[in-house]
């Protein structure tokens, strides 16, 4: 047993707080928008130049001038504002966004992140990921615990080219949740196990050092 994609998104949604400005990455992070708790006000930022992202449009509402960072058609809300890419990344780099939730290929127990490049394969580019992890107040990674061949994606040191150094605060995998002290004062802590996952199983599948701090 482990968490499904939907359960991962639900768990990540627990990191949202009322009044937060949040940037969601592509893939599972996008699903987090479906689990914003009732009564909580969260404003989604899209780095192509929009604050206050609404749901996907109905067929007759589609507007080619209104897309999200995944290039999907989207809608606006009453509170929406639009701005240039320079203003968008000033917002991101300047520390005005509260939370970024994004995917990863590898994370180290020191909070290093690799999520944009596999040497030898066609590289699509980092897009806004390097700016987001360098500038957003809190960075949460949502990813599968292991790669397709079973190798741990939580490592003592990333092997792939980095997106950022000491940037990740929390890692949510299908097996559990790990908290990272970016300042390096404390070791990485396992703070939650996914449903049906044992400490023995997650220890066996995690290459990075960690302390169990399960409540």
Partner 1 sequence: MVNKVYSDAKSALEGLTFDGMIVMSGGFGLCGIPENLIIALRDSGVSGITVISNNAGVDGWGLGLLLETKQIKKMVSSYVGENKEFARQFLAGELELEFNPQGTLAERCRAGGAGIAGFYTKTGVGTLVAEGKETKVFNGETYVLETGLVADLSIVKAWKGDEEGNLIFRKTARNFNPMMATAGKKCVAEVEILVPTGELDPDEIHTPGIYVDRIVKGAFEKRIEQRTVRQRESA
Task: Give the binding site for partner 1 (CB under 8 A).
Answer: 46-50, 55-59, 62-68, 70-74, 76, 82-86, 88-90, 92-93, 112, 117, 122-131, 134-135, 161-165
Decide if 41 is catalytic: no
- Catalytic residue, candidates 6, 41, 47, 61: 47
Least gap, CB of 130 to partner 1 (angstroms): 4
In the complex with partner 1, the residue whose CB is nearer, 17 or 82, is: 82
Q: Is 204 exposed, middle or buried (0-12, 13-18, 19+ CB in 10 A)?
A: exposed
In the complex with partner 1, the residue whose CB is nearer, 71 or 148, is: 71
Q: For residues 108 and 157, is the Cβ–Cβ distance under 8 A? A: yes
The three-state secondary structure class of 5 is helix
In the complex with partner 1, the residue whose CB is nearer, 121 or 148, is: 121
Q: For residues 73 and 62, is the Cβ–Cβ distance under 8 A? A: yes
Q: What are phi and psi of 184, to 5 degrees?
A: 85, 10
Least gap, CB of 177 to partner 1 (angstroms): 25
The three-state secondary structure class of 61 is helix
The owner of tokens 């509260």 is 98
The three-state secondary structure class of 67 is strand
Least gap, CB of 142 to partner 1 (angstroms): 20
In the complex with partner 1, the residue whose CB is nearer, 67 or 213, is: 67
Q: In what order do the strands lie in the sheet with 138-143?
A: 76-82, 50-53, 43-46, 21-24, 99-102, 138-143, 170-173, 176-179, 189-193, 211-212
Token reading at 190: 């396992």
In the complex with partner 1, the residue whose CB is nearer, 103 or 127, is: 127
Least gap, CB of 135 to partner 1 (angstroms): 7
Least gap, CB of 39 to partner 1 (angstroms): 22
Q: Which residues are catalytic?
A: 47
């Amino acid at each position: 047993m482990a968490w499904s994609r939907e359960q991962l998104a639900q768990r990540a949604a627990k990191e949202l707080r009322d009044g937060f400005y949040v940037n969601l990455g592509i893939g599972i992070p996008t699903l987090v928008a479906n689990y914003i708790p009732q009564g909580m006000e969260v404003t989604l930022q899209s780095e192509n130049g929009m604050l206050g992202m609404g749901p996907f449009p109905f067929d007759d509402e589609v507007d080619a001038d209104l897309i999200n960072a995944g290039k999907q058609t989207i809608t606006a809300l009453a509170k929406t504002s639009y701005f240039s890419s320079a203003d968008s990344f000033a917002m991101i780099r300047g520390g005005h966004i509260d939370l970024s939730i994004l995917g990863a290929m590898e994370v180290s127990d020191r909070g290093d992140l690799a999520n944009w490049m596999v040497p030898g394969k066609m590289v699509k580019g980092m897009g806004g990921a390097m700016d987001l992890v360098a500038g957003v107040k809190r960075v949460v990674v949502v990813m599968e615990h292991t790669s397709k061949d079973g190798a741990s994606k939580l490592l003592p040191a990333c092997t792939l080219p980095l997106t950022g150094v000491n940037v990740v605060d929390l890692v949510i995998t299908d097996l559990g949740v790990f908290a990272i002290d970016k300042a390096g004062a404390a070791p990485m802590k396992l703070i939650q196990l996914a449903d049906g996952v044992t400490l023995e199983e997650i220890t066996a599948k995690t290459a990075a050092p960690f302390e169990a701090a399960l409540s």
